[in-house]
Amino acid sequence: MKLVLFFCFVVAAPVIATNAEAQKPVRVADPVPVAPASPVTPTPVPDSGPADPPVPAAMETPTAAVTSAPIPEPTPAPAPTPQRKRSVREMIDVLSETQVEQAITGLRNNFLDSTKTGDKEVRRATLEGLILRLSPGAMLTHEDSIREESGSGLFLAEIIDGRIGYLRPAAIDGESLAQIDAALSNFAEKGLKALIVDLRNVAASRDFEKAADFARRFCAKGKLLFSIQKPSAKQERIFTSNLDPAFTGVLVVLTDADTSGAAEVLAATLRLNASAMIVGSKTSGEAVEFEDSTLGDGKVLRVAVAQVVLPGSGAIYPAGVSPDIVVGLDAAKQAEVFKLSAEKGVSEFVFESERPRMNEAALVANTNPEIDAETFGSRNASPRLMDAVLQRAVDLVTAIRFYGDRPQ
């Protein structure tokens, strides 16, 4: 019996040793990142003596967390841009009254040049700050610079591409109104269904009664057009439409930064009451009535004393009228377009000239007009002057008419 037991022990020993070796971790010289494996239950080993000592943690097989790529350093925040910086006005607006007094005292007591912080300079700085803050509702100007009701161009009426009426009044006054009536009558006879009203070259005016007269040609009878509110008056002045409109088709209005006063009130009123689309740039925001105070030496202080208010949308001052489609045109180019269009018409600055095309005559002559025009025709030619704002308006009218005329 002793001989049999000894023989079994000798045969089983290599197996036990082999299983014990299989439980030891494998050391890898250059570990490769791998996805974490699901835990494996070790094979039970017969009890053959004391277990191997535990392997130190430093010698354990590297896991995916240890061998993953290092975490990148955080990207530094970008330097402040002018858009992110708070303006001086924004910073002053959040100061308390105590902080304002402390700042003024600090300027007066500590600024290196005391002559610039005395009472005289503080009064001038106060006036400057008020005018800047209240602009365009307050301004210092010269009586020679006031161009109220002075025309800056000629009235222009035209039919673009045989299908779109175009009106460009010189001013919001009685003369231009009579010219518009005649043009609208002509457009109606020709059956035009679309109209562009260009208010980019209209003279500055505060004649809001005339603005209402213009609007009545396009707005339905009985519509509330706008009102004028004056804090010192007990009641506001209300303007309504008392006429049947002379035009009821697709209406587009053109504006720019110089469209002000009565002209911008007209633009806003046509959008509100005649479904007009506005194309161009934001208006000046001077839809107010001014009171002028003469200061002597030709200097004038202009202060807004009343403002135009649209029903449902509020005052136009000081933000102005924002266009539905923003399109800009360089001021110098616009002035040149207006000057030349008085002689040639506006269509000259709307449509691109037709490019030369390959034809039978060119094939016989062994020439290619397309290549010749590209190679020789445009080499010395300057870019053609175009009115991008009017072009966009014509495109808009074309799109509206196209989809509006399609059967539903």
Nearest-angstrom CA–CA distance, 270 and 312: 14
Q: Are residues 290 and 182 in the same domain?
A: yes
Q: Are residues 250 and 109 in the same domain?
A: no
Is residue 96, in this structure, part of any structural domain at all? yes
Nearest-angstrom CA–CA distance, 166 and 160: 7
Alpha carbons within 13 angstroms on the beta-carbon side of residue 354 total 3
Nearest-angstrom CA–CA distance, 150 and 359: 54
What's the structural domain count of the chain? Answer: 2
Task: Give 234's pLDDT tier (boundaries 50, 70, 90).
Answer: confident
What's the rounded mean pLDDT across residues 13-39?
42
CATH code, 268: 3.90.226.10
* First and final C-alpha spacing in the chain: 107
Chain mean pLDDT for the chain: 80
Pair 160, 344: CB distance under 8 Å: no
Q: pLDDT at position 47, please?
A: 46
Q: Are residues 129 and 171 in the same domain?
A: no
CA nearest to 281, candidates 251, 307, 260, 309: 260
Other CB atoms within a 10 A radius of the CB of residue 391 amount to: 17
Q: Which of 301, 326, 351 is the last residue of a domain?
A: 326
Other CB atoms within a 10 A radius of the CB of residue 306 amount to: 21
Determine if residue 90 is left, alpha or beta; phi over 0 gives left, psi from -120 to 50 gives alpha, anything else beta: alpha
Out of 71-75, 90-94, 257-261, 330-334, pick the least confident. Answer: 71-75
Q: pLDDT at position 44, please?
A: 45
Residue showing tokens 């449902």: 312
Nearest-angstrom CA–CA distance, 356 and 369: 6
Is residue 319, in this structure, part of any structural domain at all? yes
* Rounded alpha-carbon distances, angstroms, from residue 68 to 33, 37, 75: 6, 15, 20
Q: Are residues 182 and 305 in the same domain?
A: yes
Q: Are residues 193 and 255 in the same domain?
A: yes
Q: Write out pLDDT tens, residues 192-231.
A: 999 999 999 899 899 999 999 999 999 999 999 999 999 9
Supply 129's token pair.
Answer: 């700050």
Q: Are residues 299 and 191 in the same domain?
A: yes
Residue by residue, DSSP assigns 194-231 as EEEEE-TTPPP---HHHHHHHHHTTSPTT-EEEEEE-T
Q: Is 231 exposed, middle or buried (0-12, 13-18, 19+ CB in 10 A)?
A: exposed
Task: Give 25's pLDDT tier (boundaries 50, 70, 90).
Answer: very low
Q: Which of 326, 343, 373 is the last residue of a domain?
A: 326
Q: Are residues 166 and 258 in the same domain?
A: yes
Q: Which residue segment(s) compose the domain that 105 sits in?
A: 88-134
Q: pLDDT at position 353, please?
A: 64
Q: Are residues 115 and 214 in the same domain?
A: no
Is residue 282, in this structure, part of any structural domain at all? yes
Supply 48's token pair.
Answer: 């053959």
Q: pLDDT at position 170, please?
A: 93
**pTM of the complete model:** 0.72
Q: Which of 103, 134, 165 is the last residue of a domain?
A: 134
DSSP letter assigned to residue 278: E
- Angle at CA of residue 338, ends 334 and 339, nearest 5°: 115
Q: Are residues 124 and 188 in the same domain?
A: no
